[in-house]
Structure 1
Amino acid sequence: MTQKEQEEKLYMMLPVFNRVFGNAPPSTMTEKFSDLLQFTTQVSRLMVTEIRRRASNKSTEAASRAIVQFLEVNQSEEASRGWMLLTTINLLASSGQKTVDCMTTMSVPSTLVKCLYLFFDLPHVPEVVGGAQNELPLAERRALLQKVFVQILVKLCSFVSPAEELAQKDDLQLLFSAITSWCPPYNLPWRKSAGEVLMTISRHGLSVNVVKYIHEKECLSTCVQNMQQSDDLSPLEIVEMFAGLSCFLKDSSDVSQTLLDDFRIWQGYNFLCDLLLRLEQAKEAESKDALKDLVNLITSLTTYGVNELKPAGVTTGVPFLLPGFAVPQPAGKGHSVRNIQAFSVLQNAFLRAKTNYLAQIILDAITNIYVADNANYFILESQHTLSQFAEKIPKLPEVQTKYFEMLEFVVFSLNYIPCKELISVSILLKSSTSFQCSIIAMKTLLKFTRHDCIFKDVFREVGLLEVMVNLLHKYAALLKDPTQALNDQGDSRNSSFEDQKQLALLVMETLTILLQGSNTNAGIFREFGGARCVHNIVKYPQCRQHALMIIQQLVLSPSGEDDMGTLLGLMHSAPPTELQLKTDILRGRKAEASNKK
Structure 2
Amino acid sequence: MASAQMVEAVQSVTRQSLPKRDASIEYMRVLRKTEAFNALKAIDILSKAPDHILVTLADQRVHSELLTAFLTFVEFPSQEFEENIPQSVASILVVSTLTNVLKKLLWRKPVIAVLIENDEFHGLFETLVIQRNNSLGGDPAELYIWKARVMDVVDFVVETTETDVMPYLHSKDCAKLLTDALKEYLVDGSIDSVHREEGILILRIIKSSLMSSVLLDDFKANKIYETLAMLLVSPPFDEDMLTFKYTIISLIEELVFIDKEALAPPEDGTPYQHQDFVLPAVGPEHAGAVVRNLVACQVLVTALLYPDISNMTLLPAGNKDQEAPPHQFSLTVFATLLSIIRDHPMNYFLLERLNILSYAIERLDSYHQELQTSVMELFTYVLKDLNYVPFRDLVILSIHFQGTSSPRTTALVCDTVASLLQTSSGFKDVLREVGLIDMFCNMLEELSVVLRDTFGSPQFNNRISVIDFGQAFMPGEAKQRKYGIEVVHHFNSIMSCLVELLRGSRSNIALFQSTFRGDLFSLLHYNETRDGILRIIVVLVVESYRFFLEDKEASAAKSPPNTSSAPLSQKTLSAPYQLTQLCEILQSLNRYDFKMKMAILNALSSVFLECPELKDVFREGGGYVSIVSLLIRLEDAYQLIDNFEQLDLPKRRQRRDPKTNERIPTKTDMLELFTKVFYVLSESMRDHPGNSSYFEEHIGFGSLADALQLTGVFGPNGDAAKMFGVLFAFATLNESVLHIFDDPEEIEHTPEMVAKWLNSPSVCVQSPHVVLGIWRICMGLRDQESLAFCVMMSLFALSCANRRNQVLMGQTALLDELLKALFENPPLAIDNGGDSSFEDGNVMREIMSRLAKRLIEMGMSSVGFRYLMEKFSATEEISFGECSGLLDMLLHGVTHSRWPSFVQFDGYSRLDLRSLGSHNFPPANGYTFLAWLCIESFDEELGIQILEISDEDQRCYFSVQIEPETHKLVVSVSHHQSVAFNFVAFEIGRWYHLALVHSKPKLTTPTGSLSVYIDGILGDKVKCPYLSSPSGEVKCYLGRHQKPKMTAKKEGSTLSWNLGPCYLVDEPLEVQIMDVLYNLSTRYHGNFQDSLGKFQTYETSTALNINLEAARRRSSPNSRNHEEQVALMNAIRGTIGNSIPEDKLVFAFSGGNLLDAVDTRTVGAMAGIQQKDQFCRILFNSAIPRIHRGINPLSAIGILVGNPLVAAPRGLDDSIWKVGGCVVALRIVESAK
Structure 2 distance, partners of 1:586, 1:299, is 55
Mapped pair 1:308 → 2:262: yes
Structure 1 distance, partners of 2:87, 2:515, is 91
Given candidates 327, 335, 342, the residue that maps to 1:364 is: 335
Q: Given residue 229 of structure 2, which amino acid in structure 1 is its aligned partner?
A: C
- Corresponding position of 1:3: none
Mapped pair 1:148 → 2:93: no
- Corresponding position of 1:239: 200
TM-score (normalised: structure 2)? 0.40
Mapped pair 1:269 → 2:225: yes
Mapped pair 1:559 → 2:514: no
Return closer, same or farther for 1:145/1:412 CA change in 2, 3 Å cut-off.
Answer: same
Give the superposition deviation at 1:223.
Answer: 0.6
Structure 1 distance, partners of 2:13, 2:520, is 90
Return closer, same or farther for 1:425/1:88 CA change in 2, 3 Å cut-off.
Answer: same
Return closer, same or farther for 1:300/1:205 CA change in 2, 3 Å cut-off.
Answer: same
Q: Given residue 181 of structure 1, which amino acid in structure 2 is its aligned partner?
A: I
Give the superposition deviation at 1:468.
Answer: 4.2
Give the superposition deviation at 1:205.
Answer: 1.6
| Structure 1 residues 313-392: aligned runs within 5 Å | 313-315=267-269, 318-321=271-274, 323-329=276-282, 331-352=285-306, 354-392=325-363
Return closer, same or farther for 1:562/1:265 CA change in 2, 3 Å cut-off.
Answer: same
| Structure 1 residues 504-583: aligned runs within 5 Å | 504-516=491-503, 518=505, 521-522=508-509, 525=512, 529=516, 532-533=519-520, 535-537=522-524, 540=527, 542-543=531-532, 545-552=534-541, 555-556=544-545, 557=568, 558-561=570-573, 565=577, 568-569=580-581, 571-572=583-584, 574-575=588-589, 577=591, 579-580=597-598, 583=601
Mapped pair 1:212 → 2:174: no
Q: Given residue 78 of structure 2, which amino acid in structure 1 is its aligned partner?
A: H
Q: Given residue 241 of structure 1, which amino acid in structure 2 is its aligned partner?
A: I
Q: Given residue 122 of structure 1, which amino acid in structure 2 is its aligned partner?
A: F
What are the ranges of 5 or more consecutive residues in structure 2 without an aligned counterpart? 133-139, 307-323, 452-463, 476-485, 546-567, 618-1171, 1173-1233
Give the superposition deviation at 1:372.
Answer: 1.6
Give aligned-pair identity as a percent.
20
Structure 2 distance, partners of 1:362, 1:525, is 41
Return closer, same or farther for 1:49/1:443 CA change in 2, 3 Å cut-off.
Answer: same
Mapped pair 1:62 → 2:22: yes
Q: Which secondary structure state, in structure 1, belongs to the residue aligned with residue 402 of structure 2?
A: helix
Return closer, same or farther for 1:292/1:568 CA change in 2, 3 Å cut-off.
Answer: same
Q: Which secondary structure state, in structure 2, belongs to the residue aligned with residue 247 of structure 1?
A: helix
Q: Which secondary structure state, in structure 1, belongs to the residue aligned with residue 79 of structure 2?
A: coil
Give the superposition deviation at 1:244.
Answer: 2.6
Mapped pair 1:464 → 2:436: yes
Q: Please tell me whether the aligned partners of residues 155 and 208 of structure 2 are also in contact (alpha carbons under 8 angstroms).
A: yes
Structure 1 distance, partners of 2:494, 2:36, is 80
Give the superposition deviation at 1:571.
Answer: 4.6
Mapped pair 1:91 → 2:45: yes
- Corresponding position of 2:613: 594
- Greater Cα radius of gyration, structure 1 or 2: 2
Given candidates 36, 42, 45, the residue that maps to 2:4 is: 42
Q: Please tell me whether the aligned partners of residues 508 and 550 of structure 1 are also in contact (alpha carbons under 8 angstroms).
A: no
Q: Given residue 221 of structure 1, which amino acid in structure 2 is its aligned partner?
A: K
| Structure 1 residues 170-319: aligned runs within 5 Å | 170-183=119-132, 184-207=140-163, 209-229=164-184, 234-250=195-211, 252=212, 257-278=213-234, 281-284=236-239, 286-315=240-269, 318-319=271-272
Structure 1 distance, partners of 2:162, 2:472, is 67
Cα deviation code 1:460-479 (max 9, x no counterpart): 33243344456667987799
Give the superposition deviation at 1:270.
Answer: 0.8
Q: Please tell me whether the aligned partners of residues 202 and 248 of structure 1 are also in contact (alpha carbons under 8 angstroms).
A: yes
Could you say what the CA RMSD is over the residues aligned between the two structures, in angstroms? 3.6
Cα deviation code 1:523-579 (max 9, x no counterpart): 654576575246523764644642332442685544354575466456535335255
Q: Which secondary structure state, in structure 2, belongs to the residue aligned with residue 417 of structure 1?
A: coil
- Corresponding position of 2:14: 52
- Answer 1 or 2: which has greater helix percent: 1
- Answer 1 or 2: which has greater strand percent: 2
Cα deviation code 1:292-315 (max 9, x no counterpart): 332122101111123233422144
Return closer, same or farther for 1:593/1:531 CA change in 2, 3 Å cut-off.
Answer: farther
Give the superposition deviation at 1:512.
Answer: 2.1
Flag the structure with more relative contact order, 1 or 2, with Cα contacts below 8 A and sequence separation at least 6: 1
Q: Please tell me whether the aligned partners of residues 93 and 100 of structure 1 are also in contact (alpha carbons under 8 angstroms).
A: yes
Q: Given residue 538 of structure 2, which amino acid in structure 1 is its aligned partner?
A: M
Cα deviation code 1:484-528 (max 9, x no counterpart): 3388489xxxxxxxx978943332232123234556544654576
Q: Given residue 416 of structure 2, which amino acid in structure 1 is its aligned partner?
A: T
Q: Please tell me whether the aligned partners of residues 122 and 169 of structure 2 are also in contact (alpha carbons under 8 angstroms).
A: yes
Q: Which secondary structure state, in structure 2, belongs to the residue aligned with residue 380 of structure 1?
A: helix
TM-score (normalised: structure 1)? 0.78
Mapped pair 1:455 → 2:427: yes
Return closer, same or farther for 1:468/1:166 CA change in 2, 3 Å cut-off.
Answer: farther
Structure 1 distance, partners of 2:154, 2:77, is 24
Q: Given residue 273 of structure 2, which amino acid in structure 1 is its aligned partner?
A: F
Return closer, same or farther for 1:343/1:438 CA change in 2, 3 Å cut-off.
Answer: same
Return closer, same or farther for 1:433/1:513 CA change in 2, 3 Å cut-off.
Answer: closer
What are the ranges of 5 or more consecutive residues in structure 1 without an aligned counterpart? 1-38, 491-498
Q: Please tell me whether the aligned partners of residues 534 and 550 of structure 1 are also in contact (alpha carbons under 8 angstroms).
A: no
Cα deviation code 1:287-341 (max 9, x no counterpart): 44443332122101111123233422144x5322252534332553321111111
Return closer, same or farther for 1:326/1:228 CA change in 2, 3 Å cut-off.
Answer: closer
Give the superposition deviation at 1:357.
Answer: 0.9
- Corresponding position of 2:69: 115
| Structure 1 residues 14-33: aligned runs within 5 Å | none
Q: Please tell me whether the aligned partners of residues 312 and 378 of structure 1 are also in contact (alpha carbons under 8 angstroms).
A: yes
Q: Please tell me whether the aligned partners of residues 6 and 40 of structure 2 are also in contact (alpha carbons under 8 angstroms).
A: no
Structure 2 distance, partners of 1:438, 1:464, is 15
Return closer, same or farther for 1:360/1:82 CA change in 2, 3 Å cut-off.
Answer: same
Structure 2 distance, partners of 1:40, 1:123, is 26
| Structure 1 residues 430-449: aligned runs within 5 Å | 430=402, 432-449=404-421
Give the superposition deviation at 1:369.
Answer: 1.1
Return closer, same or farther for 1:248/1:589 CA change in 2, 3 Å cut-off.
Answer: closer
- Corresponding position of 1:72: 32
Q: Which secondary structure state, in structure 2, belongs to the residue aligned with residue 354 of structure 1?
A: coil
